[in-house]
Chains A and B, each alone.
Chain A
Amino acid sequence: MSRRPYVRKVERSWWLAHPRYVAYMVREITSLFIVLYCALLVVGLVRLAQGPAAWEGFVAAVSSPVNVVFQLGCLAFATYHSVTWFAVTPKAMPLVLKGERVPSKTIVAAHYVAWAAVSLVVLVAVGN
């Protein structure tokens, strides 16, 4: 008797089959907003290089209500990505110190401390 293996099709809706796949797709799609925000920053740099008038125009544009909502969305998604990334850092970067594994909680906490420290430095730098 000859073999006749049956290959099942992958449905286009495969990612709706389980909450873990939906969460993954949300991570993937929201990352697009991070790209868009980076593009906005690049545009800002270009306008800054073009002189005071161009910069004033850029500031006015990013202060519009629609743009503020967009930036708040980007901030929320960037925070979401930071939190989900910090949560998996012990997997990607396990540490062994003095023959003992550093607990996952410590590695995650160190990232939050570093995040707060860098944010503080940036805020102080902007304040000056």
Chain B
Amino acid sequence: MSQTITIEVLRYRPETDAEPFFQTYTVPHLEDGVVLDALNYVKDHIDPTLSYRWSCHMAVCGSCGMMINGEPKLSCHAFLRDYGGRVIRVEPLDHFPIERDLVIVMESFIDKLSSVKPYVIPKAEKPIEQGEYLQTPLQLMAFKQYTQCINCLLCYAACPQIALNDDFVGPAALALAHRYNLDSRDGGKGERADVVASNQGIWECTFVGACSEVCPKHVDPAAAIQQTKISASLDWFKARLLPGAN
């Protein structure tokens, strides 16, 4: 082991710890290593009790989001060399309860995601014999960036509105609602509006913009939410000025 790096990891073992504490580990510094590699080294060689989520190691599965030196990041995407040999502090994602060590409780997000019905609700069901619901490349372009969301929750950890109000539906769920609302095959916008256009939906967003800054897939949830605000406002006026138009 020629070069080493120090990482401080927030530990919390519910059966023994009253509250979380930082534990320091020294691990090999690999030029092409990422923070997840450092955690895997700890788990394999130093302390097998360390708990954290990960799966793909290639910024696709969205499991390994953590606070790294205070910034929400995928730990598989945070290169050790970018920290210039300084101590790296690793914590569970902000704004979520800690289940154990770096593992967060994410039920609240799953409930929020389900509440916006993130799936195509066809305008009119048609039998299979009538074929697929076709879509042109131009129709796909309208929402493609929002399909890139991997539910990694970095945006929730960055959003101060989530910190201040647990009930805010939040960036990823609202971006996915927008994704389906923009889909030419979809007719579920009205069904989603009860949640999306509620006080706990888009109107709780104050456009801090942090969600889009930290998104590893360039989904830009802040843009989706602002576009939804415009669209929901137009729908509100339409419903009152042109009754029966929809």
Contacts and interface: CB of A to CB of B under 8 A. Distances in A.
Contact of B99 (A3, A28, A96): A3
A3 B220 contact: no
Contact of A92 (B210, B213, B226): B226
A127 interface: no
Contacts of A4: 14-15
Interface in A27-48: 28
Interface residues of A, number: 24
B207 interface: yes
A88 B207 CA distance: 10
Nearest to A89: B226
Interface in B57-92: 70-71
A51 interface: no
B209 A5 contact: no
A112 interface: no
A99 interface: yes
A121 interface: no
Interface string A11-28: 000110110110010001
Contacts of B209: 20, 24, 88
Counting chain B residues whose Cβ lies within 8 A of the other chain, the interface size class is 20 to 34
A7 to B, nearest CB: 5
B86 to A, nearest CB: 17
Contacts of B223: 91-92, 94
Most central of B105, B160, B222, B230 by chain A CB within 10 Å: B160
Contacts of A105: none
A7 B160 CA distance: 16
A101 B141 contact: yes
Interface in B204-235: 206-210, 212-213, 220, 222-223, 226-227, 229-230
A99 B139 CA distance: 9
A21 B160 contact: yes
Given A5-B99, A99-B138, A10 B164 contact: yes
A113 interface: no
Contacts of A1: 14-15
A43 B227 CA distance: 35
B226 A96 contact: no
B97 A96 contact: no
A68 B142 CA distance: 48
Contact of B70 (A8, A18, A94): A18
B208 A5 contact: no
A91 B222 contact: yes
Contacts of B99: 3, 5
Interface of A: 1, 3-8, 10, 14-15, 17-18, 20-21, 24, 28, 88, 91-94, 96, 99, 101
Interface of B: 12, 14-15, 19-20, 70-71, 94, 97-99, 105, 138, 141-142, 160, 163-164, 206-210, 212-213, 220, 222-223, 226-227, 229-230
17 contacts: A1-B14, A6-B12, A6-B14, A6-B20, A8-B94, A10-B163, A18-B210, A20-B209, A24-B206, A24-B210, A88-B226, A91-B226, A91-B227, A92-B223, A94-B223, A96-B138, A96-B141
